[in-house]
Structure 1
Amino acid sequence: SAPSASPAPGASTDPADVSAATAAATGKHRGAPAAEEPAPSYTVKEGDSLAAIADANGVKGGWSALYQANEQVIGSDADLIKPGQNLEIG
């Protein structure tokens, strides 16, 4: 009969640790996919305008792109943004 292999000194034999180490070494991970980071957002303050927000945050396409991305929040008038509205800027 062949001798049994013993783990390296300090190596874990806990199945969860072994599985995690194997996944890390092979690049194969089980479970839920990594969560995506939420899109950056901006909370409208008194005196803000879409143009100023877009410029300050480097929004590609300027104020019109910012409006299009947030039309559901802003409503039909791009000139009427209200303090407290949360706009996606990413």
Structure 2
Amino acid sequence: MNKKYSTVRTLIGVFFGQDFESFGETIEEIMQSYTEYENATAVTNLKAQISELLLITDDNELNTLMSSLAERQFEPTSWGESWRSFLLKVEASLS
């Protein structure tokens, strides 16, 4: 399961982990940094993985999966977001 969403896991662990301030103060700023640091393939993979995650209609299932991927390095509620709203903001910033 974690391997399937490895790009999402990397995004959360590296860019939204404990040193997130190095990349920005908002989701949008951090995603701008992400697109500057990562190559086009990683960005394309991230878009595809997020699209697939957003197809999960059961929020409990999505929350469980995302919490597993985050490995306690990020919790969207501390940013005033749910996992779904966080993914939607990340997706919008990649458009």
Higher relative contact order (CA 8 A, sep 6+): 2
Q: Say which one has the larger Rg.
A: 1
The structure carrying a bigger helix percent of its residues is 2
Query: Above 0.5 in TM-score?
Result: no
The structure carrying a bigger strand percent of its residues is 1
TM bracket, shorter-chain basis: under 0.3
TM-score of the superposed pair, with normalisation by structure 2: 0.26
TM-score of the superposed pair, with normalisation by structure 1: 0.27
